[in-house]
Chain A
Amino acid sequence: MRFSGLRVLREGLTGNRGWTPHWRDPEPKPEYDAVIIGGGGHGLSTAYYLAKNHGMTNIAVLEKGYLGGGNVGRNTTVVRGNYFMPGNSEFYSHSLKLWEGLSQELNYNVMFSQRGVIMLYHSDAQRDAAARRGNAMINQGDDAELLDRNALRKLLPYLDYDNGRFPVHGGLLHRRGGTARHDAVAWGYARGADQRGVDLIQQCEVTGIDIENGAVRGVQTTRGPIRAKKVAIVTAGRSGQVAAMAGMRLPIESHVLQAFVTEGLKPVIDHVVSFGMGHFYISQSDKGGLVFGGDLDFYASYAQRGNLPMMEHVMEAGMTLMPMLGKARVLRSWGGIMDMTPDGSPIIDKTATEGLFIDCGWCYGGFKAVPASGFALAHLMATGQHHETAAGFRLDRFRSGEGLMDEEATGSQHNLH
């Protein structure tokens, strides 16, 4: 079924009885050309691009829970292309371009809204660091503007410019950045993949990876064994457990990142505003909730929930930066499992096992990467070659030190990125 305004009208007139499943619930087949472990954003987009770009349709996505139930369904929906380290720059730039046509490409309104991302700076040194980032973005072909406080005041009149703990000097504006409806991204890719023949298999947990003579042969699942010569691990925070089934240890530590949403409010924040000194960022959803977050809780965790210290820190940051937020009430808090790497940048690579691929290490930046990550992993799985936009995301870069992409410059301690 093709979605359109006309279709909505027609269904409305006939009692909305004609809507059909967005995807099938097929039984797993005994064998596929490729199996993707993990039905989150990255896994689903990988399946979609394998089918669409490479004609591989005899593939399955295996999801132990429900589709889109991981970080793609529990993030703060920010999309931006404002990275500056070579390796990241070209990748996120590519992802942003894919975002810009995604609703039309998927025939699914992912509500990508380029409302502009603003990173604030509070000192001359931070201004210069922001300038380096902005110049790198323009070198890459993306957009950036360095705003002084007068220019910023016009966009964000509600900040406490002078009395906050860290007076605001200006900001780096990235107009093409913004937000999207996170669940819709997962569903749109799922529907697109399903329409191209991909089997999306929910409630199917992988319990083992079959390897013979150094090559992958398939997986064991709670719904029986499935043979496949190509298997991709796309399981974000759970990557360590799944990789262990293939005898691998990963350079990853899983941490909890909390996020928060307030009750619905009339429009008050138009942009995505990021307050580096307070590890605080905020935007307002189309429904009216203020969606915001902060830093990791900092301890290794798989709990998908956090604790008060970071929650309060985030609220305090909001109050020093935007004291007009005070009367907004936090409605819900939640947490995601972040696969933190030693340089804060991701991994899309082959492994030592032939036919076994891995896509992980997205830290807390995986949502914006969903299109390009699937695009690049599909390319790697189908052609055996790294896609040019993701050639830097190698598994061995930590051992060799070559091509490290430490955007935060905090070094090899996983939780500091």
Chain B
Amino acid sequence: MRIECPICGSRDRREFYYQGAAVALDRPAPDAGDAVWDVYLHLRDNPAGETRDLWQHEGGCGAWLVVTRDTVTHAISAVELASDVKRAMA
């Protein structure tokens, strides 16, 4: 598996750290309530198909990435800088 880092180019999967669903970008307010925090930290759509995951190019530039990937075929369709995605959310 290879991932196209927007900064470094195509790199082997072993340079990257995987964290989980990209919902982690959307940190709730402290007073959002335990249901919202439960969703943020624990509950997952866990799709068998396209997902948006957070990876970090830990063995490279250190950039956190939002990777759009199919969990059945492992095909990667998009890689974005997480910071860009987060800024766009604001």
Contact = CB atoms under 8 A, between A and B. Distances in A.
Interface of A: 238, 240-241, 249-254, 298-303, 307, 309, 342, 398-399, 412-415
Contact of B42 (A301, A303, A412): A412
Given A253-B21, A309-B14, A303 B71 contact: yes
Interface residues of B, number: 28
B85 interface: no
A176 B41 CA distance: 37
A299 B53 contact: yes
Contacts of A240: 44-48
B1 interface: yes
A238 B48 contact: yes
Given A298-B18, A415-B20, A250 B1 contact: no
Contact of A252 (B14, B46, B53): B46
- Which one of A238, A249, A299, A342 has the highest number of Cβ atoms from chain B below 10 Å of its Cβ? A299
Nearest to B48: A302
Given A240-B45, A299-B69, 13 more contacts: A238-B48, A249-B39, A253-B46, A254-B48, A299-B18, A300-B20, A303-B72, A307-B1, A307-B74, A309-B14, A413-B20, A414-B44, A415-B18
Nearest to B35: A399
11 contacts: A238-B48, A249-B45, A254-B71, A299-B53, A299-B74, A300-B20, A309-B13, A309-B14, A398-B41, A414-B44, A415-B20
B83 interface: no
B34 interface: yes
Contacts of A309: 1, 12-14
A342 B74 contact: no
A303 B53 CA distance: 16
Contacts of A254: 46, 48, 71
B41 A252 contact: no
B41 A241 contact: no
Contacts of A299: 18, 53, 55, 69, 74
Contacts of A298: 18
A399 B42 contact: yes
Nearest to B14: A309
A342 B21 CA distance: 13
B73 interface: yes
Interface string B31-61: 0001100110111111110010101000000
A399 B38 contact: yes
B15 to A, nearest CB: 10
B72 to A, nearest CB: 5
